[in-house]
Amino acid sequence: MILNSFFPTLETKRLKLRQFELSDKKRLREIANSREIAEGTFIPYPYKDEFAVDFIESQFRDYKSGNLVNFAVVIDNQDLLIGSMGISIDNKLNEGEIGFWIGVDYWGNGYCTEAARSVLHYGFTERKLDKIIAFHFKDNIASSKVLQKIGMELEGIKRNEFWHMGELKDTVHYVIYKTDYDKLWQNI
Ligand SMILES: CC(C)(COP(=O)(O)OP(=O)(O)OC[C@H]1O[C@@H](n2cnc3c(N)ncnc32)[C@H](O)[C@@H]1OP(=O)(O)O)[C@@H](O)C(=O)NCCC(=O)NCCS
């Protein structure tokens, strides 16, 4: 089922970032149902069947509201769903915030970095944002590497920002401004 025919599709060398479809629900549950993913995000674990449907349906509403574009990340030549990469948009401040996860079996292949670069590009060139931010829990080395690799700069650490999985966690915040992005990524 096509939820929104206007939803953007982004292509990278190995990946396609497209809208989630209801037919993704089984695969989404398979890859999202992981303690490792829950540890770095606010995705629930265990991940029940109904979460997948609610999540996919909420993407349509969120896109329509103009506040969130959440892409399904698929390996392009197989349309194999491997994760999610979203950008929420604060229209008043004209800034975006990216968030992502990749199924554990696919970690360490550069997929997240590749997808995050294309969403940054989308945010600055298509949505004409002035600034994009992101944060991760302090112990999340992979996320910090992704954010640095796409050119984001460390902005600061917030101590004890969230209770998460029974722990009070610090968060690490990153930012990139359009002016700096233009200098860094002119050629992608
Ligand atoms: C963060 C995450 C999306 C990274 O996905 P990925 O596709 O493996 O990322 P990449 O392959 O692009 O790797 C980026 C860097 O992180 C490193 N990395 C990947 N997994 C790692 C791990 N478990 N521990 C330490 N470093 C790791 C990679 O080696 C790479 O660094 P390098 O280029 O210096 O070798 C993935 O680990 C994940 O889904 N984690 C759980 C959910 C989460 O934390 N989401 C982020 C919320 S802010």
Summarize pLDDT for 144-165 with one digit per residue, the tens. Answer: 999 999 999 999 999 999 999 9
For range 125-133, the mean pLDDT: 97
Q: Is the pLDDT of residue 5 over 70?
A: no
Domains in the chain and their CATH numbers?
A: 10-130 (3.40.630.30)
pLDDT at position 188 over 80? no
Triad 42, 17, 27: Cα angle to 5°: 60
Task: State residue 3's pLDDT score.
Answer: 56
- Helix, coil or strand: residue 25: helix
Provide the 10 A C-beta neighbour count for residue 185.
16
In this prediction, residues 85-111 reach a mean pLDDT of 98
Q: Please say whether the beta carbons of 81 and 28 come within 8 A.
A: yes
Q: How far is CA 27 from CA 172, 186, 188, in A?
A: 31, 35, 31
CA distance 120 to 179: 13
Q: Is the pLDDT of residue 60 over 90?
A: no
Tokens of 70: 């959440």
Measured distance CA(101)–CA(114) in Å, rounded: 13
As a whole-number percent, the residues of the chain with pLDDT over 90 amount to 90
- Say whether pLDDT at 175 is over 70: yes
Give the pLDDT band (50/70/90) at residue 43.
Answer: very high
Across 53-77, average pLDDT:
93
Strand, coil or helix: 129 = coil
The pLDDT of residue 57: 93
Q: How far apart are CA 60 and CA 186, in angstroms?
A: 31
User: Across all residues in the chain, what is the average pLDDT?
Assistant: 95
Ligand 1 centre distance from Cα of residue 145 (Å): 7
Ligand 1 atom showing the smallest separation from residue 115 Cα = 12
| Cα–Cα distance measured from residue 17 to residue 82, given in angstroms and rounded to the nearest whole number | 10
Q: What is the pTM of this model?
A: 0.95
Over residues 1-5, mean pLDDT:
57
**pLDDT at residue 187 in the model:** 56
How far away, in angstroms, is 116 Cα from ligand 1 center? 11
Contact yes or no for 107/143 (Cβ under 8 A): no
**Inter-residue contact 55 to 61 (CB < 8 Å):** no
Work out the burial of residue 59: count CB atoms within 10 Å of its CB; fewer than 13 is exposed, 13-18 middle, 19 or more buried: buried
Q: How far is the CA of 102 from the centre of ligand 1 (A)?
A: 8
Question: pLDDT grade, residue 184 (50/70/90)?
Answer: confident
> Is 26's C-beta closer than 6 angstroms to any atom of ligand 1?
no
